[in-house]
Amino acid sequence: MTGGPARTELGELTGDYVLDAAHTRIGFVARHTMSTRVRGRFDEFEGGAHLDGDHPSRSGAQLMIRAKSIQTGHRQRDDLLWGAFLDAENHPAIGFTSTGVKQVDGSHFQVTGDLALRGVSGEVTLDVALTGVERDPRGDPGVGFKGSVTINRHDWGVNQNAATRLMVSPKVILEFDVVVVRRP
């Protein structure tokens, strides 16, 4: 993304947006056996946001991820993750709905919301940075955000068995690098 928050006033960004799936990455990092990290992503998701640049606290976002779309580059591990860990047959969607937005400084925000995973809903607060603004040929903005949150997977019942509890860290970093575009 080019442009940036300094070149575009936040008030100019007010409006309703949808995720640009071609330019969005939603992923995770988990430590395995205390020596390696497993990185993965989700390939199927949808969502949107309402941005209020003049009053960021009135902004909001929602996201729905298809649990079976998990990808780590290892088919057997992917099958285990969406099956035993995420129980995607019974809980096909992972959801996030914001409940509050707090502006920290000019381009940093804390977004609090409900993360629904495996039939359990819990509150999380994401650290979010506005990474840039790029206008399309019609002059409509595409807005980039990047952020993360660390969760304890046990809080959402994401376990396979007792051995797994020891082999895979309970801490999982959820990461996102998203672009939203104005709704047509």
Are 93 and 121 a contacting pair, CB within 8 Å?
no
Binned at pLDDT 50, 70 and 90, residue 160 comes out as low
Question: What per-residue confidence (pLDDT) applies to 85?
Answer: 85
Question: What per-residue confidence (pLDDT) applies to 161?
Answer: 55
Rounded CA gap, 98 and 90, in Å?
24
Binned at pLDDT 50, 70 and 90, residue 140 comes out as confident
* pLDDT tens digits along 33-44: 666 888 999 999
Rounded CA gap, 144 and 100, in Å?
19
> For the residues of the chain, what is the DSSP string, one character each?
--S-TTTS-GGGG-EEEEE-GGG-EEEEEEEETTTEEEEEEE--EEEEEEE-SS-GGG-EEEEEEEGGGEE-S-HHHHHHIIIIIT-TTT--EEEEEEEEEEEEETTEEEEEEEEEETTEEEEEEEEEEEEEEEE-TTS-EEEEEEEEEEEEGGGGT----HHHHHHEEEEEEEEEEEEEEE--
Question: What per-residue confidence (pLDDT) applies to 1?
Answer: 43
Average pLDDT, the chain: 88
Question: What per-residue confidence (pLDDT) applies to 167?
Answer: 60
Q: Of residues 136 and 60, which shows the higher confidence score?
A: 60
For the domain bounded by 15-182, which CATH number is listed? 2.40.128.110
Binned at pLDDT 50, 70 and 90, residue 135 comes out as confident
* pLDDT tens digits along 57-79: 999 999 999 999 999 999 998 99
Rounded CA gap, 159 and 146, in Å?
28
Average pLDDT over residues 156-161: 74
Q: Of residues 32 and 124, which shows the higher confidence score?
A: 124
Question: What per-residue confidence (pLDDT) applies to 113?
Answer: 98
What pTM did the predictor assign? 0.88
Encoded tokens for 94: 């992972």
Q: Is the pLDDT of residue 6 over 60?
A: no
